[in-house]
Amino acid sequence: MGLVEDFEHVSAGGLHWKLEEIPFARIDLGRVKDDAQLFAMLTCASFVEIASDLYGRNLVTHFADNADVVAWISGHWQPEEVQHGRALKAYVKAVWPDFPWAEAFDAFIQDYAPTATQAHLEPRRALEMAARCMVETGTATFYTALGAHCEEPVLRQIVLNIRNDEIRHYKHFYRFFKDYNALERQGNAAIARTLVKRMAITRNEDAYLAYKHFHAVRYPREAFTDAHFQQYLERGRRLARRTYPFPMAAKMTLRLLNLNTRVRTALTPAVAFLARGILMR
Ligand SMILES: [Fe+2]
Ligand SMILES: [Fe+2]
């Protein structure tokens, strides 16, 4: 049996929910429209999600000789990631209609596209799959935290839909990782290095460009500086402090290392504690 067929809940159409099903007309505007940090975060998330399409094309080229991977990336992963971006974009446009989303996105994508090259992919297949798992861990935990934070019901529905997709993405990439690593036998040191590298790239490069172009359009008279970027990150951390699921992040990360179940279970609370210390400092 192929890897993809194992996930019987993957719907035939490739999407588990549809943008048209989201009741945008029922948004409780009063609960969100004054939340400047949420505005920035949702806009930036919409940019990065839509830009996944470029990364998807690189993945399809990188894994061109694996029909299972190619079919899942282009038939499921790519359309789902783009739908995440479209749903967030529609939400931003409904709540903050004066923001010229397209103008900011065009500037962002021009800056971002040259960075989404094959060169950013890990040459070893197992390591690229581990890196993908790390990115999905980041998004799954981010949307979990956001879902617990947001009180506006329509946003909550969108965020939880996205979160469920991201967890499923992790599971698929994890299967692919296991298959490739059975052949490549990467050690814990190489895997851990890859995970740390990918975590740093995601946190800094993608987020930096997204906030830069959000800020440039939102505050056209103010040049975007490193201090602004740090401020956005700090506000994001503040927002997530109460709701970020550290044990979930630790569990998803530790699963990628070759550890026996007892060691992994014993390590999870310690890693969760450390991650809290690092991310929330
Ligand atoms: Fe996504
Ligand atoms: Fe994803």
Please answer whether residues 56 and 74 qualify as being in contact, where contact means their C-beta atoms are separated by less than 8 angstroms. yes
Q: Which ligand is nearest to the CA of 50?
A: 1
Q: How many CB atoms lie within 10 A of CB 183?
A: 9
Q: Is pLDDT above 80 for 277?
A: no
Q: Is pLDDT above 60 for 82?
A: yes
Q: Which ligand is nearest to the CA of 161?
A: 1
CATH of region 32-279, choose from 1.20.1260, 3.90.75, 3.40.50, 1.20.950: 1.20.1260
For the chain, percent of residues with pLDDT exceeding 70: 93
How many angstroms is it from 219 CA to the middle of ligand 2? 30
Q: What's the pLDDT tens digit per position in 96-131?
A: 999 999 999 999 999 999 888 777 788 899 999 999
Q: For 15-24, 117-126, 128-137, which range has the lowest pLDDT when averaged over its residues?
A: 117-126
Q: Which ligand is nearest to the CA of 132?
A: 2
How many angstroms is it from 61 CA to the middle of ligand 1? 20
Q: Is pLDDT above 90 for 3?
A: no
How many angstroms is it from 47 CA to the middle of ligand 2? 14
Q: Which ligand is nearest to the CA of 83?
A: 1
Q: Which ligand is nearest to the CA of 73?
A: 2
DSSP the chain: --TGGG-TTS-TTS-SS-GGGS-GGG--GGGTTT-HHHHHHHHHHHHHHHHHHHHHHHHHHHTTT-HHHHHHIIIIIHHHHHHHHHHHHHHHHHH-TTS-HHHHHHHHHHHHGGGSSGGGS-SSHHHHHHHHHHHHHHHHHHHHHHHHH---HHHHHHHHHHHHHHHHHHHHHHHHHHHHHHHH---HHHHHHHHHHHHHHIIIIIHHHHHHHHHHHHSTTS---HHHHHHHHHHHHHHHTTT--HHHHHHHHHTTS---HHHHHHHHHHHHHHHHHHHT-
Q: Is pLDDT above 60 for 61?
A: yes
Q: Which ligand is nearest to the CA of 134?
A: 2
Q: For 11-15, 60-64, 176-180, which range has the lowest pLDDT when averaged over its residues?
A: 11-15
**What is the per-residue pLDDT for 202?**
64
Please answer whether residues 162 and 143 qualify as being in contact, where contact means their C-beta atoms are separated by less than 8 angstroms. yes
How many angstroms is it from 263 CA to the middle of ligand 1? 31
How many angstroms is it from 85 CA to the middle of ligand 1? 7
How many angstroms is it from 133 CA to the middle of ligand 1? 12
How many angstroms is it from 161 CA to the middle of ligand 1? 10
Q: Which ligand is nearest to the CA of 49?
A: 1
Cα 61–Cα 110–Cα 42 angle in degrees, nearest 5: 95
- Per-residue pLDDT band at 11 (split at 50, 70, 90): very low
Q: Which ligand is nearest to the CA of 135?
A: 2
Q: Is pLDDT above 60 for 83?
A: yes
Mean pLDDT of 183-188: 92
Q: Is pLDDT above 60 for 13?
A: no
Q: Which ligand is nearest to the CA of 158?
A: 1
Q: Is pLDDT above 70 for 265?
A: yes
Q: Is pLDDT above 70 for 10?
A: no
Q: Which ligand is nearest to the CA of 85?
A: 1
Q: Is pLDDT above 50 for 7?
A: no
- Per-residue pLDDT band at 209 (split at 50, 70, 90): very high
How many angstroms is it from 222 CA to the middle of ligand 1? 30
Q: What's the pLDDT tens digit per position in 243-264?
A: 899 999 999 999 999 888 888 8
Q: Is pLDDT above 70 for 205?
A: yes
In the chain, domain spans: 32-279
Mean pLDDT of 190-210: 83
Cα 158–Cα 13–Cα 43 angle in degrees, nearest 5: 30
How many angstroms is it from 256 CA to the middle of ligand 1? 20
